Amino acid sequence: MKFWQKTFLATLALFLVAFDIGIFMIADLSYRNNVDSEKAKDLGEHHFIAVTMAKDISAIQQRGGETDAALKSLYEYYGSYYEKQAVSLELILDGETVYSNLPPYDGEQPELAVRPGERNIVQRVIDGHTYLFVAGALPEEVGDYLLVYAKNLDSIVTAQQELTRSLLVASVLISAVLALALYILLRRISRPIRKLTAATQRIAAGETGERVWIAGSDEFAQLARSFNHMADEVENQLHSLETESTRKQQFIDNLAHELRTPLTSISGYADYIQKATITDDDKITATGYIISESNRMKEIAYKLMDMAVLRETGIQSKEIDIEDLLDRSLAAADVKAVDKKVWISADIHDRIKIRGDIDLLQSLLVNLIDNAVKACDEGDKVLVRTYYDGDGNACVSIQDNGPGLTEEQLEHITQPFFRVDKARSRQAGGAGLGLSLCKQIADCHHARLVFQSKQGVGTRVIIVFPDEQTELAPPRIEERPARRRERT
């Protein structure tokens, strides 16, 4: 059973119980009030009859003569007169009934238990009719008379029964109207719950973009907003997991591809040396290929290990003079630049200091400069600059005038084993992990790698160190001109 149905039944049941109890209490209170009013009226009327009858009996006794016949006639007159008003009388003298027009009754008569000087009032039922009995003595001067007054209350009982029936009918009608109104109200109130339930079912079925929109500021609207926020987070997490899973699978595929080629070469040349009759020069050539491919596999293993270490251990940060860092990095990159006859121009700002791991940052710069040199042809130039940007961040840029990259290539440039050339040419060397490792080193230093490239113009890579990584404020350039270095 649904929540709104439980609420509907519980609310309706509580209302019916409370309303019916109220109805019966109202009917009973009305009946009691009517009876109490009738008691007060009957007590007064009994007193009036007793006083009037005592006067009449006293008058008859004083006249003398045929008193018994006169008294009997008097009793019958009173009985006849009040019988028209639904009142019955009984007159008892010295314990003997001298007149009575009460309905016959063989049971006890508790109304007769009257104390001297008091009147007794009793309500009881005779033959299905309800009577109110009032019993009391006449004044003593006329004798030991006891007057019993009985008023028929059937009209009051009937009125009470009709009132009860009317209230019951009203209860049924009001309950029906309430049930309909409560049904409509609860269906409307529980609509947000149904929307949330439907949304969760659709999300569970894979429609992660499903959202719930509920206007207002009540608890349901707040719940809907919280649900949408949760759904956004879940969708983002799922997207991240899918992206990460795709990257991991791509990494595994690329790694398998990268290892297959050198292993095939090593296996082929080893088989060639073992089975073929070849000269010493051919053996040297074959072993050279084996050593070259083995070194490339070793380079892949070392870089994968470096990436794993960075993820697990982090870095030990200390203050670094960026001029010293670049001197070391340019010295390491000079050898390949000289071999390829590429010029390296350095524009270094000597007041910049940053915090980080100097060995990792040197590896980062050497990799970027080496990639720039590889992108250049003979006689081209690589420009290395340090400066502060408009936000006070220390920056190092490496710019080449090579062939440049496309937008799609820039999107994947830091992915493991990604190569710019579609044929995956390895003539320039490398394991395809350099820029991926560079990005991890930059992330460890809370720095950003910004790639800017235009085909036919060249590529520029900027390392942006955040302001909190910079130890000294930037000097005014015109007061401290930067030095320029040319290396070939």
What's at 426, amino acid-wise?
A: R
Distance CA 356, CA 337 (A): 27
Q: What residue ranges of the chain are covered by domains with CATH 1.10.287.130? A: 209-313
Q: 70: how many CB neighbours lie within 10 A of its CB?
A: 17
Q: 46: how many CB neighbours lie within 10 A of its CB?
A: 22
Q: What residue ranges of the chain are covered by domains with CATH 3.30.450.20? A: 3-166
pLDDT attached to residue 382 = 92
Q: Digits of tens for pLDDT over the chain (488 positions)?
A: 777 778 888 888 888 888 888 888 888 888 889 889 999 999 999 999 999 999 988 888 888 766 788 888 988 999 999 988 889 999 988 888 899 888 887 777 888 888 888 889 999 888 888 899 999 999 888 878 899 999 998 888 888 888 888 888 888 898 889 888 888 888 888 787 788 888 888 888 878 788 887 777 777 788 888 888 888 888 888 888 887 787 677 667 656 655 676 687 788 888 878 888 788 888 888 888 788 778 767 766 776 676 666 666 667 778 888 888 888 888 877 877 888 888 888 888 767 888 888 888 888 888 889 889 888 888 889 999 998 888 888 899 999 988 888 888 888 777 776 666 544 445 544 555 668 778 888 888 889 999 999 888 899 999 999 876 555 444 433 332 333 344 43
Distance CA 45, CA 170 (A): 37
Distance CA 10, CA 18 (A): 12
Query: Residue 416 has which token pair?
Result: 């493991």
pLDDT attached to residue 485 = 43
Q: What residue ranges of the chain are covered by domains with CATH 3.30.565.10? A: 317-487
Query: Residue 417 has which token pair?
Result: 């084993």
Distance CA 91, CA 96 (A): 8
pLDDT attached to residue 422 = 47
Q: Cβ-count burial of 136 within 10 angstroms (0-12 exposed, 13-18 middle, 19+ buried)?
A: buried
pLDDT attached to residue 479 = 31
* CATH number attached to the domain at 3-166: 3.30.450.20
* CATH number attached to the domain at 209-313: 1.10.287.130
CATH architecture of 317-487: 2-Layer Sandwich (3.30)
